[in-house]
C-alpha cells in the first residue's frame, strides 16, 4: 500500500461508525453486495486492527453494515427457510410489515399507496387498475436474490416514500454453474377434492392463456357509436347479440371434485471466461403453477338506523377460483474487475378464472334473488432492464452506475358476466335486462433511466459525495365496455323466464326477435375510458461518511418535479371529454431533504436517527371517473379527479445490538405527519347503490414502536446431532390519528368538486384507513446444515384495521386479519447409495393457516353487526421435490 494512502487511513480512524464496511454508502439503486469483497458475505465480519484503531462490528451483518438507513433484508437463505413462493409471502416475516390480499405490502400499518416497489432500482408498472404499485405476489422467489425494505428515506430513491421502499433484486451472474428442477402438488382443506363452481371457457384455460374465444367480436370492436336502438336497426343489434353470445363463457357449472394444485419449474445458470479477467454469465428461471380455491361465506351491506340494522343485501355466496401463473427470468451479464453490464428480462403471466354465485334477499328488488357470474382476469408484466457499473482510479475512488428500464403491464377482463334471477313461487326466473357482459383492459407502461455517481473525496476522513439524475415516464390507458341482453317487446314470456341461461341467450331467440343487444357503456362523462400520465424528473446530491470517530452521517437533498394527469375519453372517438370530471393536471415540484446519523457507541451496538420530507401521489385509478367492480369483494369503485398530493414529514430513531453471529435485538421509534392523506370512503349513487371512492383527509399523524429479536439456542439444546434451535420475533405497535378541525373541508367523490364539511366524512381523532395497531411475527424452528434439514413454525398476528371509511353517519368498514399459523419443512435427501452422487434432491412441505383463521370484514355499532365479506379460506398445503445438479 502506498505511504500516502496508508497515512490517510490511519488518520481517518476509519470504519468506527457502523462496522467493518463503511467505505461506501449503500447503493439505493443497486445491491449492496458489490461494495464489499466477494468473500465478505460468506463469513462474519472480523475485528481488525490498524495501529491503535479497532474496528467495531464483529457480528453486524454485511447488509446492515453497508447501509446508513433503517432497513430490513430478506435473503436467499430466508426464502429457503420459510418456503415462501413469492416476494409478498416473504415480506410478511419482516418487522413492521403486513400484506393485504396476499399481494399489497403495508409498511408500519400504512396503506400500499405509501410504499413503492422497484426491481433492481427501476420502477415497475402495475397490472392492477386499482393500484399504481405492482402486486408483489407476481414475483416468484426463484427469480429473486433478495429483497431490501428501507424504512427511512434517502435521496437516491424516488420522492414517493411514506412507509418504505421495497427493492427487489433479481438473480445476478452465478459464481458457479447450477441447474435445478422442481415439481410439486398441494391442496386446500375446503377446496381440493370437494365440490366447487366452474365454467368451461376453453381447453387452454388450465394454462392461463385464452385461446381467443373471449375476444370481443371484430364487428363490435369496429363500431364507432354505442350499440343501441338509436344507432342501429333491430337486425343489426340481433346480429351483434348473436356474435357476442357464447354459452361456454357464462354457464355456471358445479365441478364435483376440485383438482389439486400443481407446480413445476426449472432454474439454471453458468458463467464463461471469454477473455482475461472478463466473465460472461447467463441465468434463466421458468416456473408454472396452477391452484384452485373455493370460498363460501356471507356478504351483506346496509345501514345502521335508530332501530338497529337495515340490510340492503343479505347474501350467502360461493366462489371458486382457478389461478394459473407462468414466470420467467432471463439474465445476461458481462463483468470485469472494474466494469459490468447486465441485462434482465422478467416475464410474469398470472390469470384468475373465477365462477361465483350468491343468493339472498335484496331490498331494492324486494324478493330473494340469485346472481351468477364468471370472470377471466389475465395479468401480464414484462420488465426489461439494462444496467452498468464502472469504477475508476487506482483505488476505485470514482464509481458510476447507470440503468435503463422499460416495463409494460397489461390487465384484461374479457367476458366478465353477471346474470340475475328472482325467486318466484319457488322457481328461479330470469327477468328482462337483469344481466351484463363487460370487457375491460388496462395497459400500463413505464420508461425510466438514471445515473448515479459516487466520488470518494480526497480528504482525511472517509467521505463520499454522490450525485445523480433520474427520469420516469408512466403512461396508462384503460377502457371498459358493458353490454346487456334485453327483450324487445317488454317482459319475457313465462316459458323463457325459466329457460336455462344458454337456451335463453341462444341465437334462436335473437334471430326470432325475442332478444336484442343493448350497450350500457356510460360515455357522456368519459366514465368508461381514460388515459393517465405521470412524468417525473429528479436530481439529487448526497454526502455520506464519517463525521467523527464512531459517528457516521448521510445528508442529502432531492429535487423532483412531476406532471400527473388523468384524461377521461370518449370511448368511441378517443377524444378527451371535458366537464366536471376533467380536473386540471397536478403540476408540482419539491425539494426533499433527508439526513441519517449513526452512532456506533459500543462494540456491535449502534443508534440511528433519520429525518426526511417526502410525498405520496394519488394513483391513476383513484383519480379516474371510471366505474369498476373489484372481483375480490364484488364492490363497485369510482374515482375522484379532485385528489391532490400528500406531503409527509418522517422521523426515526433505532437501536441495534448484534450480540452474536446471526443474532440481534433492535428497537425503534418512528413518527410521521401527513398533510392531505388519501382515504378510501363509501359513497352512495342513490337508491342504496353503494360504491367505494377516495378523498383527501385534512391531516394525519402516526407514531409507533418496533421491536425485533433473533436468537439461536445454546449448544446444550441442540437437536438432531449438530442441529440448533432457532427463534425470531418482531412486533410493531402503531398509533395513528386523522385530524379534522372545525371548518376543515374535503372534496368527496360524487360532489362534483364542491368542498364539504370534513367532519361529515372523516371522524376527528379516528385511526388512519388501513392502519393496524399491532403487527407481530414469531418464528421457531430447527436447523441442521450437515443433515440439510430445516423446520420452522411461523405465527403472524395483525390486529383489525379500517378497510374503508363508512358513509356519513355510518361506522367504518373493519377488516380483522387475526392470527395465522404456518409450518414449513425442508429436507435434503441422499441418493449416493443409488450412484447419484452428483444429484442433490430436496423435499419440501408447507402448511398454511393451520388455525383456519376466518377472513372478516364488517361494520359494527351498539352490538349490531353487518358482515360485509366473511369466509373461511381453509388450510392450504403443498409438497415439492427438487433436484439440484
Q: How far apart are CA 256 and CA 297, in angstroms?
A: 19
Name the pLDDT band for 49 (thresholds 50, 70, 90). Answer: very low
Between 277 and 77, the more confident residue is 277
pLDDT digits (tens, 9 = 90+) for 727-758: 988 898 999 999 999 999 999 887 888 899 99
Sheet holding 115-119, edge to edge: 71-75, 144-150, 164-170, 115-119, 122-123
pLDDT digits (tens, 9 = 90+) for 324-352: 999 888 989 999 989 999 998 989 899 99
Q: What is the pLDDT of residue 718?
A: 62
Q: What is the pLDDT of residue 81?
A: 65
Phi, psi (rounded to 5 degrees) for 763: -75, 125
Q: What is the pLDDT of residue 684?
A: 78
Q: Taking 60 as the threshold, does the pLDDT of residue 147 lie above it? A: yes
Q: What is the pLDDT of residue 523?
A: 65
Q: What is the pLDDT of residue 880?
A: 93
Q: Which residues of 103-127 are buried (b: 16+ CB within 10 A; e: fewer)?
A: bbbbbbbbbbbbbbbbbbbbbbbbb
pLDDT digits (tens, 9 = 90+) for 363-422: 878 889 999 999 999 989 898 999 999 999 888 899 999 999 999 989 899 999 999 999
Q: What is the pLDDT of residue 22?
A: 28
Q: What is the pLDDT of residue 528?
A: 83
Q: Domains, the chain, ranges and CATH?
A: 179-199+250-487+522-884 (2.40.170.20)
Of the listed ranges 13-27, 193-207, 222-236, the least confidently predicted one is 13-27
Which residue, among 700, 564, 569, 589, has the nearest Cα to 644 in the 3D structure?
564
Q: What is the pLDDT of residue 249?
A: 94
Whole-model pTM: value is 0.86
Winning range, highest mean pLDDT, from 152-166, 310-324, 649-663: 310-324
Between 48 and 481, the more confident residue is 481
**How much of the chain exceeds pLDDT 90, in percent?**
42
Name the pLDDT band for 46 (thresholds 50, 70, 90). Answer: very low
What does the DSSP assignment read for 99-141? Answer: EETTTEEEETT--GGGEEEEETTEE---S-TT-SSPPGGGSBG
Name the pLDDT band for 643 (thresholds 50, 70, 90). Answer: very high
Name the pLDDT band for 117 (thresholds 50, 70, 90). Answer: confident
Q: What is the pLDDT of residue 869?
A: 93
Q: What is the pLDDT of residue 426?
A: 87
Q: Which helix (H) or strand (E) holds 494?
A: helix 494-497
Per-residue pLDDT averaged across 161-184, rounded? 84
Per-residue pLDDT averaged across 250-278, rounded? 92
Which residue, among 375, 303, 365, has the nearest Cα to 690 in the 3D structure?
303
Per-residue pLDDT averaged across 855-871, rounded? 93
| Farthest CA pair distance, the chain | 101
Q: What is the pLDDT of residue 738?
A: 93
- DSSP 8-class letter at 617: P
Q: How far apart are CA 625 and CA 585, in angstroms?
A: 14
Q: What is the pLDDT of residue 6?
A: 35
Q: What is the pLDDT of residue 27?
A: 31
Q: Taking 70 as the threshold, does the pLDDT of residue 153 lie above it? A: yes
* Residue 738, all three cell numbers: 386523522
**How much of the chain exceeds pLDDT 70, in percent?**
85
Q: What is the pLDDT of residue 75?
A: 80
Q: Which residues pair with 86 in a beta bridge?
A: 140
Q: Taking 80 as the threshold, does the pLDDT of residue 20 lie above it? A: no
Residues in the chain: 885
Residues contacting 694, CB < 8 A, separation 6+:
618, 622, 639, 640, 643, 678, 679, 680, 681, 749
Per-residue pLDDT averaged across 241-261, rounded? 93
Q: Which helix (H) or strand (E) holds 2?
A: none
Q: Taking 80 as the threshold, does the pLDDT of residue 41 lie above it? A: no
Between 131 and 861, the more confident residue is 861
Per-residue pLDDT averaged across 801-830, rounded? 89
* pLDDT, averaged across the chain: 84
Name the pLDDT band for 60 (thresholds 50, 70, 90). Answer: confident
Between 501 and 1, the more confident residue is 501
Q: Which residues pair with 855 in a beta bridge?
A: 871
- DSSP 8-class letter at 807: S
Between 53 and 777, the more confident residue is 777
Q: Taking 80 as the threshold, does the pLDDT of residue 62 lie above it? A: no
Q: Taking 60 as the threshold, does the pLDDT of residue 53 lie above it? A: no
- DSSP 8-class letter at 61: -
Amino acid at each position: 500500500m502506498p505511504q500516502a494512502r496508508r497515512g490517510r487511513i490511519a488518520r481517518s480512524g476509519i470504519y468506527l461508525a457502523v462496522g467493518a464496511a463503511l467505505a461506501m454508502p449503500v447503493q439505493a439503486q443497486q445491491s449492496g453486495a458489490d461494495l464489499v469483497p466477494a468473500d465478505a458475505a460468506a463469513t462474519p465480519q472480523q475485528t481488525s486492527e490498524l495501529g491503535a484503531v479497532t474496528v467495531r462490528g464483529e457480528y453486524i451483518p454485511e447488509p446492515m453494515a453497508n447501509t446508513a438507513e433503517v432497513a430490513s433484508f430478506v435473503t436467499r437463505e430466508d426464502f429457503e427457510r420459510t418456503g415462501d413462493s413469492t416476494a409478498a409471502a416473504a415480506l410478511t416475516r419482516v418487522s413492521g410489515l403486513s400484506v393485504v390480499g396476499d399481494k399489497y405490502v403495508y409498511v408500519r400499518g400504512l396503506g400500499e399507496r405509501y410504499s413503492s416497489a422497484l426491481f433492481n432500482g427501476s420502477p415497475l408498472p402495475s397490472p392492477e387498475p386499482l393500484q399504481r404499485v405492482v402486486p408483489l405476489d407476481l414475483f416468484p422467489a426463484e427469480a429473486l436474490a433478495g429483497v431490501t425494505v428501507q424504512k427511512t428515506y434517502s435521496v437516491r430513491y424516488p420522492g414517493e416514500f411514506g412507509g418504505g421502499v421495497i427493492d427487489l433484486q433479481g438473480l445476478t451472474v452465478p459464481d458457479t454453474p447450477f441447474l435445478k428442477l422442481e415439481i410439486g402438488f398441494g391442496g386446500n382443506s375446503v377446496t381440493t377434492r370437494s365440490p366447487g363452481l366452474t365454467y368451461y371457457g376453453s381447453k387452454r384455460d388450465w394454462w392461463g392463456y385464452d385461446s381467443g374465444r373471449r375476444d370481443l367480436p371484430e364487428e363490435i370492436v369496429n363500431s364507432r357509436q354505442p350499440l343501441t336502438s338509436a344507432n342501429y336497426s333491430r337486425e343489426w343489434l340481433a346480429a351483434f347479440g348473436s356474435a357476442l353470445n357464447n354459452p361456454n363463457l357464462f354457464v355456471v357449472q358445479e365441478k364435483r371434485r376440485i383438482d389439486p394444485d400443481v407446480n413445476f419449474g426449472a432454474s439454471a445458470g453458468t458463467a464463461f471466461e471469454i477473455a482475461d479477467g472478463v466473465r460472461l454469465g447467463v441465468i434463466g428461471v421458468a416456473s408454472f403453477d396452477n391452484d384452485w380455491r373455493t370460498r363460501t361465506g356471507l356478504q351483506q351491506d346496509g345501514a345502521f338506523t335508530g332501530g338497529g340494522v337495515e340490510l340492503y343485501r343479505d347474501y350467502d355466496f360461493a366462489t371458486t377460483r382457478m389461478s394459473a401463473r407462468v414466470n420467467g427470468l432471463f439474465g445476461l451479464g458481462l463483468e470485469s474487475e472494474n466494469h459490468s453490464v447486465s441485462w434482465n428480462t422478467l416475464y410474469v403471466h398470472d390469470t384468475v378464472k373465477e365462477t361465483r354465485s350468491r343468493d339472498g334477499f335484496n331490498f331494492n328488488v324486494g324478493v330473494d334473488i340469485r346472481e351468477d357470474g364468471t370472470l377471466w382476469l389475465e395479468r401480464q408484466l414484462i420488465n426489461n432492464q439494462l444496467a452498468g457499473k464502472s469504477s475508476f482510479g487506482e483505488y476505485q475512488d470514482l464509481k458510476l452506475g447507470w440503468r435503463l428500464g422499460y416495463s409494460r403491464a397489461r390487465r384484461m377482463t374479457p367476458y366478465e358476466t353477471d346474470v340475475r334471477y328472482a325467486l318466484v313461487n319457488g322457481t328461479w326466473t330470469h327477468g328482462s335486462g337483469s344481466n351484463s357482459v363487460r370487457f375491460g383492459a388496462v395497459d400500463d407502461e413505464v420508461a425510466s433511466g438514471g445515473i448515479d455517481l459516487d466520488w470518494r473525496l480526497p480528504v482525511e476522513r472517509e467521505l463520499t459525495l454522490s450525485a445523480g439524475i433520474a427520469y420516469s415516464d408512466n403512461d396508462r390507458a384503460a377502457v371498459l365496455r358493458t353490454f346487456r341482453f334485453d327483450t324487445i317487446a317488454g317482459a319475457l314470456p313465462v316459458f323463457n323466464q325459466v329457460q336455462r341461461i344458454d337456451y335463453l341467450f341462444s341465437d334462436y331467440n335473437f334471430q326470432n326477435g325475442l332478444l336484442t343487444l343493448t350497450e350500457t357503456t356510460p360515455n357522456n362523462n368519459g366514465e368508461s375510458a381514460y388515459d393517465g400520465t405521470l412524468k417525473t424528473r429528479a436530481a439529487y446530491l448526497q454526502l455520506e461518511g464519517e463525521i467523527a470517530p464512531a459517528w457516521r452521517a448521510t445528508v442529502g437533498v432531492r429535487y423532483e418535479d412531476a406532471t400527473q394527469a388523468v384524461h377521461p375519453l370518449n370511448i368511441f372517438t378517443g377524444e378527451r371529454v371535458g366537464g366536471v370530471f376533467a380536473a386540471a393536471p397536478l403540476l408540482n415540484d419539491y425539494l426533499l431533504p433527508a439526513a441519517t446519523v449513526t452512532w456506533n457507541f459500543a462494540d456491535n451496538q449502534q443508534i440511528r436517527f433519520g429525518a426526511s420530507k417526502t410525498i405520496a401521489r394519488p394513483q391513476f385509478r383513484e383519480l379516474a371517473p371510471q366505474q369498476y367492480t373489484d372481483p375480490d369483494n364484488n364492490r363497485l369503485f369510482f374515482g375522484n379527479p379532485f385528489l391532490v398530493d400528500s406531503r409527509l414529514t418522517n422521523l426515526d430513531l433505532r437501536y441495534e445490538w448484534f450480540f452474536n453471529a446471526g443474532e440481534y435485538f433492535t428497537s425503534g421509534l418512528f413518527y410521521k405527519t401527513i398533510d392531505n392523506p388519501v382515504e378510501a370512503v363509501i359513497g352512495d349513487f342513490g337508491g342504496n347503490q353503494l360504491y367505494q371512492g377516495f378523498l383527501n383527509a385534512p391531516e394525519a399523524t402516526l407514531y409507533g414502536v418496533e421491536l425485533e429479536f433473533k436468537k439461536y439456542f445454546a449448544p446444550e439444546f441442540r437437536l438432531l446431532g449438530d442441529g440448533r434451535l432457532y427463534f425470531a420475533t418482531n412486533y410493531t405497535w402503531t398509533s395513528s390519528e386523522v385530524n379534522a378541525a372545525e371548518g376543515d373541508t374535503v372534496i368527496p367523490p360524487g360532489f362534483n368538486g364542491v368542498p364539504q364539511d370534513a367532519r361529515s366524512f372523516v371522524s376527528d381523532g379516528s385511526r388512519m384507513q388501513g392502519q393496524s395497531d399491532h403487527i407481530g411475527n414469531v418464528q421457531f424452528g430447527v436447523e441442521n446444515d450437515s443433515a440439510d434439514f430445516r423446520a420452522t413454525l411461523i405465527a403472524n398476528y395483525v390486529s383489525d384495521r379500517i378497510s374503508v371509511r363508512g358513509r356519513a353517519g355510518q361506522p367504518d368498514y373493519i377488516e380483522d386479519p387475526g392470527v395465522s399459523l404456518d409450518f414449513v419443512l425442508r429436507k435434503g435427501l441422499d441418493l449416493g447409495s443409488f450412484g447419484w452422487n452428483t444429484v442433490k434432491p430436496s423435499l419440501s412441505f408447507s402448511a398454511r393457516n393451520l388455525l383456519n383463521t376466518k377472513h372478516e370484514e364488517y361494520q359494527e355499532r351498539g352490538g349490531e353487526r353487518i358482515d360485509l365479506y366473511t369466509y373461511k379460506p381453509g388450510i392450504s398445503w403443498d409438497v415439492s421435490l427438487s433436484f439440484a445438479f
